[in-house]
């Protein structure tokens, strides 16, 4: 897991990077984290797009940093 900070508007937010293909081998991921989606589908979408991030309820493509490797 990687930890970074980012400003969202005027608020400093914690951001965490995970390996979506392996996170469920370390812990369970609750569907409750993903409004209108389930953990399996969101993690699969993230695994398919290493330049993407999930931020509360949507999948976002980021261009400000390279994917974690």
- Output the tens digit of pLDDT for each of the chain's 69 residues: 677 777 877 888 887 778 888 888 888 888 887 778 888 888 888 888 877 776 654 445 444 455 555
Q: Is the full-model pTM beyond 0.85?
A: no
How many CB atoms lie under 10 A from the CB of residue 20?
Answer: 20
- Record the tokens describing residue 31, joined without a space: 């569907």
Q: What are the helix (H) ranges across the chain?
A: 23-26, 39-48
CA distance 53 to 64: 12
């Amino acid at each position: 897991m990687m930890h970074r900070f980012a400003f969202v508007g005027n608020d400093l937010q914690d951001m965490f990077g995970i390996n979506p293909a392996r996170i469920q081998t370390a812990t369970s991921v609750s569907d409750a984290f993903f409004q209108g989606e389930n953990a399996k589908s969101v993690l699969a979408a993230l695994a398919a797009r290493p330049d993407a991030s999930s931020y509360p309820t949507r999948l976002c493509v980021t261009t400000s940093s390279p994917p974690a490797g």
